[in-house]
Amino acid sequence: MVRPFVFGTNFKMNQTADESAAFYRQLATSLQIAPATHLFVIPPFTSLAAVNEVAGPPPHQIWVGAQNVHWAPDGAYTGEISVGMLLALDVDLVLLGHAERRRYFHETDVELNRKVLAALSAGLRVLFAVGETAEERAFGVSTETVLRQLRIGLHGVAPEHLKKIQIAYEPVWSIGAGGTPASPEDVEPIAKVIRSGCAELFAALGGEVPILYGGSVDPSNAGTFTALPDIDGLFVGRAAWTVEGFIATYRAGSRGVEESRRDQ
């Protein structure tokens, strides 16, 4: 079975609505998307309406993602955004479990599980991020950490929702300007752990879940990660915040995917 190549970026707390809409428009007109490939762009909430206007009605060639969602359908949760609000803007996907949400906003595995279940049952795709901190790595508990995040975060996911899930492995120590880029040798064993965690949770269907790598990915290293047998895509921050950077990183990543498919 060939899993799709999944590639995209999260703008984090960057870009106005006009900037995100211009990015999406330029990307959609500059890129010929290869078969068995899914692209996504995750702008801030305030950009979603403007990006939706550019993207037109679904299905979208380039998935539009949100950076978070609340688990409750509505209620007294000041500052939060519901699944229904995202669906009203034709959002395709929601990012859950990003290291910055876990670290700065103290999102727990159990809360993330509630969000995952709420998003999936409303029909949204989920990009679920896992990864160990530098400290967890130093203590030798990367495997345990990632498996815990996976087992709790995806607990109770119905097999019919599995095709809406993609997992991003992002070692926290590799993310952002202060991060240390990981090597493919660092990533490979944990990608295998995630793959076997998916098999444990979802039996044979677990083999169909795309696993993305993220953390200081750029055109120089993108192909080294996608050449790994258990890595099916890339989740990119800084390097993909210009359309040129997005396309250059995407092209480098696709070359790695082709290599790995040839070897299988």
Q: Which residues are at the interface with ligand PGA (CB under 6 A)?
A: 10, 170, 175-176, 179, 214-217, 235-239
Q: CB of residue 218 vs ligand PGA: minimum separation in angstroms?
A: 8
Using omega within 30 degrees of 0 as the cis cutoff, is the peptide bond preceding 59 cis? yes
Smallest distance from ligand PGA to CB 158, Å: 27
Does residue 60 carry a catalytic annotation?
no
Cα–Cα distances (Å) from 217 to 3, 9, 12, 102, 148, in that order, read: 20, 10, 15, 21, 25
Q: Which residue, 75, 18, 76, 83, is CA-closest to 46?
A: 18
Of the residues 111, 132, 136, 170, which is catalytic? 170
Least Cβ distance, residue 156 to ligand PGA (angstroms): 26
Nearer to ligand PGA, 5 or 173 (CB): 173
Residue closer to ligand PGA (CB basis): 5 or 202:
5
Task: Quote helix, strand, coil % in the chain, to nearest 5.
Answer: 50, 15, 35
Residue (66 or 201) nearer to ligand PGA, CB: 66
d(CA 56, CA 60): 8
Query: Of 4 and 181, which has the nearer Cβ to ligand PGA?
Result: 181
Between the alpha carbon of residue 134 and those of residues 56, 142, 202, the distances in Å are: 42, 9, 29
Among all residues, whose Cβ is closest to ligand PGA? 237
Annotated catalytic residue within 98, 100, 132, 136? 98
The CA radius of gyration of the chain, in Å to the nearest whole number, is 17
Residue 170 a catalytic site member = yes
Least distance from ligand PGA to the Cβ atom of residue 66, Å: 15
> What angle do the packed helices 142-153 and 109-121 form, to 10 degrees?
40
| CB closer to ligand PGA, 182 vs 193 | 182
CB of 85 to ligand PGA, least distance (A): 23
CA distance 223 to 200: 28
* Residues carrying an active site annotation: 98, 170
